[in-house]
Structure 1
């Protein structure tokens, strides 16, 4: 059985990743902080492909909940996932003037500790002779980090380092790679003219779609000779150095 655990898999980017995997014939363990109804597009894809799926609730800021997630998935499906897509992420505002110890710990718990603990637990469950894949979802800002969303950025830099570290430590049982998206699903804070300005600022003249990121995740899941790598799916954003987060760019007339 091709079984994937997608954290934060009911909505937004996680739903796009899950939909692409469903299209490719994977069974799906969809994680959320609470059990949700899948995004309508994902729900349609699950129905179209008669996907074997189940939802699992876990607060990834709670180490005990993290420790219980893979056992719950294995108990339900009777199998260990062959793909772990670490997509869940905390994203709050702070900067060099407002960062706090609590804010750092909150971000590191979800964005770094949970993915690492899930990956190492997966490796133990795969066992000798088995093979699985981990794909961590990062952020293109790891190439040129700034102080906007400081705790978030630092936690993603840590997960980036963990990707290569775990690729070395968990080979050959588990391959560990990452995808670093650019601005994929804008929040309501972005103005239409701002979005067009951001598209034009990208070397490729476009921003990535959720499906672009999902395609990269699926490719890494299948690329059996690849580990320790990060694919930037960002319209080329990582090739440039921006002074501020995208939210602050392109708002002026």
Structure 2
């Protein structure tokens, strides 16, 4: 059985990733901070594909809960996960002028430390000759980081560096790659006309769909000769330098 652990796997982008993995024949350990209940659309996909799955609650800011998560999944399914998708993230709105030690530590704990520790735990359980796959979800802003969402951005830069380091140090027990999405699931803070203008700012004149990101994850999950790679799924956004986060761009005359 192919078993994947997807952090933050019940909602939003995580739900799209989990749904595509179900279609690809993966059994799923769906993580959520509390009450791991899949979105209705994801539950329908799991039912459609007859997926084997269960939910696992764990607060990734609690080192004790992080330390026990992979073992809990292994005990429940009778085998360790062979794929880990580090999708769960904390996203704050602080900038360099108001970030604090507390905001930095909170973001690094969830967005950097927890993924690294989970990757180590999954790699340690891999069978000889059958490396586990680790896919970290980053952000296209790691190429041209602006000051907005400073703690979040710094934590994703750390996870990007960890992806390269872990690909070297966990081999051959694990392959470690990443997917860096662009603006994929806008919040209600984005205005309709703003979204149209942002699309036109991308080199491909488009923004990614959650299924585009999920497709990249599924590819890396099965790409047995690939490690240490980051796939940008962003309409080409990483090829340009934006002075601010997308939330603050394209709002004029809206």
What is residue 39 of structure 2 aligned with on the other side?
39
- Equivalent runs, 1:1-253 vs 2, <5 Å: 1-253=1-253
Structure 2 length as normaliser, TM-score? Answer: 0.98
- CA deviation vs aligned residue, 1:193-223 (integer Å, no higher than 9, x gap): 0000000100001000000000000000010
Distance 2:52 2:96 in 1: 46
- CA deviation vs aligned residue, 1:149-175 (integer Å, no higher than 9, x gap): 000000000000000100000111100
What secondary structure sits across from 2:162 in the alignment? helix
Pairwise CA distance, 1:126: 1.4
Pairwise CA distance, 1:96: 1.2
Pairwise CA distance, 1:127: 4.5
Distance 2:95 2:37 in 1: 34
Root mean square deviation of aligned Cα: 0.7
Distance 2:129 2:75 in 1: 21
How many residue pairs match? The answer is 253
What secondary structure sits across from 1:129 in the alignment? coil
Distance 2:160 2:122 in 1: 18
What secondary structure sits across from 2:244 in the alignment? coil
Q: Is contact 2:30–2:36 with CA below 8 Å preserved after alignment?
A: no
What 5-or-longer segments of structure 1 have no aligned partner?
A: none
What 5-or-longer segments of structure 2 have no aligned partner?
A: none
Q: Is contact 2:212–2:233 with CA below 8 Å preserved after alignment?
A: yes
Segments of 4+ in structure 1 off by > 6 A?
none
Q: Is contact 2:22–2:51 with CA below 8 Å preserved after alignment?
A: yes
